[in-house]
Amino acid sequence: MNFHATFDAGGLVMKVEENVDLFPFNTFGIHARARYFATVTTREEVQKLLEHDLFRSHQRLFLGGGSNILFTDDFNGLVVKNAVTGISVVSEDDTSITLNVGSGENWHAFVMHCVSRDYGGIENLSLIPGTVGAAPMQNIGAYGVEVKEVIDYVNAIELATGRERRFSREECAFGYRESIFKLTERDQFFISSVTLTLTKKTHRINTGYGAIADVLRAKGITNPSISDVSSAVVAIRTSKLPDPAHIGNAGSFFKNPVVTQHHFDTLSKTYPTIPSFPVGEGKVKVPAGWLIEQCGWKGFTRGNIGVHKNQALVLVNYGGGEGRMIRALAEEIQSSVQEKFGIHLQPEVNIIGS
Tell me which residues are annotated as active site.
Answer: 177, 252, 348
φ, ψ of residue 236 to 5 degrees: the values are: -65, -50
Instruction: Residue count of the chain, please give it.
Output: 354
- Please state, in angstroms and rounded to a whole number, the distance separating the CA atoms of residues 88 and 99: 6
Nearest 10 degrees: Cα torsion 253, 258, 259, 260: 180
Give residues with Cβ within 8 angstroms of 56, minimum separation 6.
50
CB 258 within 8 A of CB 283: yes
Q: Which ranges constitute the DSSP H helices of the chain? A: 43-51, 53-56, 107-116, 134-137, 212-218, 226-240, 261-270, 288-294, 323-341
Closest among 313, 176, 290 to 240, alpha carbons compared: 313
- Please state, in angstroms and rounded to a whole number, the distance separating the CA atoms of residues 169 and 151: 6
User: Would strands 69-71 and 60-63 be described as parallel, antiparallel, or unpaired?
Assistant: unpaired
- Please state, in angstroms and rounded to a whole number, the distance separating the CA atoms of residues 60 and 245: 26
